[in-house]
Amino acid sequence: MKITIRSILGFLVMAILFASCEDEDKNPLNLLELDNSKSPFVRIIVDEPIVAAGDIASSSLVAKVDALEDNVASWQLAVSRESGGVASDAIVLTTLTDFPGQISIPYTEIADALGISTDEISGGDFIRFLGTATGTDGTVVTFDNFSPNVTGQPEQRQAFNFIVLVKCSPITDATLAGTWVIDMTDLFGDGWDGAFVTFEIDGVTTDYTFTAGSAANFEVDVPAGTSNLVISYTSGAFEEEHIYTIETPDGDVRGPFGPNPSPCIN
């Protein structure tokens, strides 16, 4: 029995040591330990983490940037665009050396840095920002240095890997209140393979799709007094099979959208 207990204790000790090593590998830099081992951690608060596609040409990335401790010499910000699941190369935008600080960069300048125009940034795209902090001791920190429980938590407000979502613009050229009609077609005849159309009515979203057959029809009642209506499309598999039209309460038919529909109808 003594041998068994010792074996169990030995196993537990080894397991704890292994887990500690694993955690260290995932998060080799510390945030809250002794002064001489704290990471040069930078936080950011972005004023508008979501921007409408139609507003991006007149909007800016505006944010407050601060260091968690007085051990950050500089923070560099780079940007890339993710569209259709494909990311562009990251391009450096600016560097801060004074904290707290503020940045205000027009999206026209961001688009120029990426070698595109704002007209090429559409709903469904992500503008990803990547930060690099350099400590007063020369330590260089990127999002790779931190485990997902740091970079993946919004409350950390980490300035190393964050996004601005480009969403579809609200409908402004049609009567909002009334019955909208969605006509969906699948060219193969087996439903929409995970794709769907979303109606966002004053911030409340409802998805519409079908899972079998070659066609489906939905009537969407938008209540009187609605001030904001956004219609968007989320892709699934076999996008070359998906087509749909939208009829407004005024009787105007928009589309057809597809095959391979874009994320936005306007």
Tokens of 164: 């601005």
Residue 169: how many other CB atoms lie within 10 Å: 19
**What is the pLDDT, as a whole number, of residue 26?**
40
| Residue 14 Cα distances to 3, 10, 18, 109, 266, angstroms | 16, 6, 6, 54, 60
Question: Token match 């510390």: residue?
Answer: 30
Q: Is 6 helix (H, G, I), strand (E, B) or coil?
A: helix
User: What is the rounded distance in angstroms from the CA atom of residue 42 to the CA atom of residue 219?
Assistant: 48
**What is the pLDDT, as a whole number, of residue 156?**
77
For residue 206, the cross-strand partners are 199
- Catalogue all structural domains in the chain, each as residue range(s) with its CATH number: 29-167 (2.60.40.1940), 178-257 (no CATH)
Residue 88: how many other CB atoms lie within 10 Å: 14
For the segment 85-143, what is each residue's pLDDT rounded down to a tens digit?
A: 899 999 999 999 999 999 999 999 999 999 999 999 999 899 999 999 999 999 999 99
**What is the pLDDT, as a whole number, of residue 99?**
97
pLDDT band, very low/low/confident/very high, at 151 (cuts 50, 70, 90): low
Does the pTM surpass 0.95? The reply is: no
User: What is the rounded distance in angstroms from the CA atom of residue 135 to the CA atom of residue 131?
Assistant: 13
For the segment 37-80, what is each residue's pLDDT rounded down to a tens digit?
A: 578 999 999 999 999 999 999 999 999 999 989 999 999 999 99
**What is the pLDDT, as a whole number, of residue 148?**
73
